[in-house]
Amino acid sequence: MQTRKLGNSGLEVSALGLGCMGMSFGYGPAHDKKEMISLLRSAYEKGITFFDTAECYGPFLNEELLGEALSPFRDKVVIATKFGFLEGDSKKGLDSRPEWIRKSIEGSLKRLNTDVIDLYYQHRVDQNVPMEDVAGTLKDLIQEGKVKHFGLSEAGVESIRRAHAVQPVTALQSEYSLWWRTPEEEILPLLEELGIGFVPFSPLGRGFLTAKIDENTQFDSTDFRNTLPRFTPEARKVNQALVDLLSKIASDKGATNAQVALAWILAQRPWIAPIPGTTKLHRLEENLEATDLVLSAQDLAEIEYAASKITIEGSRYPEHLQKIAGK
């Protein structure tokens, strides 16, 4: 497995990480714990050293899962987790008060069965707490040896600059893929300027870009994609045009849609490490092969030209959630 460094921080991770949320939360009922432990350990054996979780995934179930699964080789992997929701529950709203961050870190350390968090993200920017207070608390936690690196998730330009001025930000985690390219406008240039790494979540469009979902797909009643405007049957029908483009390129390359989508992201910057999620070993293996798929400058130009003619239908979040994304 190739490795990458997240910006100027020196934090080295596998070129592809593993987003673990879906094992416990978000995409239907939690999966069998033994099966997920086996999958996580297989991921490590196949070269993945970068694992992403959060206290609110469950809540708490996902951290406990990783704590058990990764304990045999804890010192050889990078674990990223997140704070920032009241009582660790995303349904209860944001809370990044310094006192809550300190409570959160103690819970995460215990659940993850570790004495230090490698990369600790603020899950979403809390408009009620000055970013300087958040970054200052992380600076203290780093000095105390409880955290190695500070990260932000879905933060905007102003928040990133304010945080970075207090405590250098190692990585920004935000959505980025061929069907959500807004970070290219302001975020990627800023990260390059400041030497911050980028960790795209949902690099496969929450599964849509894999060509395994169409307008007729029925999601589990607890799957949060049911609430996303981009995933209405009408939007999926329109957005199929992007999947068809990927399918054509994949056919030409003897690859899969997922592999092309991931290879495209990896080709954008050397300090980008996407974290596709999966609960299936064969999908994990498929995704890993993307690191060996090289897209030439001509390939990338052709993708750019074709994608520029496709208009994506639907917002990525419902209106009430958009206000906490990218501030």
Q: Do the Cβ atoms of 169 and 151 come closer than 8 Å?
A: yes
Pairing of strands 12-14, 3-5: antiparallel
Taking alpha carbons only, the member of 111, 8, 106, 97 closest to residue 53 is 111
Taking alpha carbons only, the member of 269, 270, 248 closest to residue 257 is 248
DSSP 101-146: HHHHHHHHHHHTT-S-EEEEEESS--TTS-HHHHHHHHHHHHHTTS
DSSP 147-195: EEEEEEES--HHHHHHHHHHS-EEEEEEE-BTTB-GGGTTHHHHHHHHT
Q: Residue 297, Cβ neighbours under 10 Å: how many?
A: 8
Catalytic residue among 27, 57, 176, 317: 57
Q: Do the Cβ atoms of 253 and 293 come closer than 8 Å?
A: yes
Q: Tell me the C-alpha distance between 179 and 209, whole Å.
A: 8
121 has catalytic annotation: no
Q: Tell me the C-alpha distance between 209 and 259, whole Å.
A: 10
Cβ-proximal residues to 254 (8 Å cutoff; 6+ apart), any chain = none
Q: Residue 193, Cβ neighbours under 10 Å: how many?
A: 9
Angle at 299 between CA 298 and CA 303, to 5 degrees: 115
- Active-site residues, by number, are 57
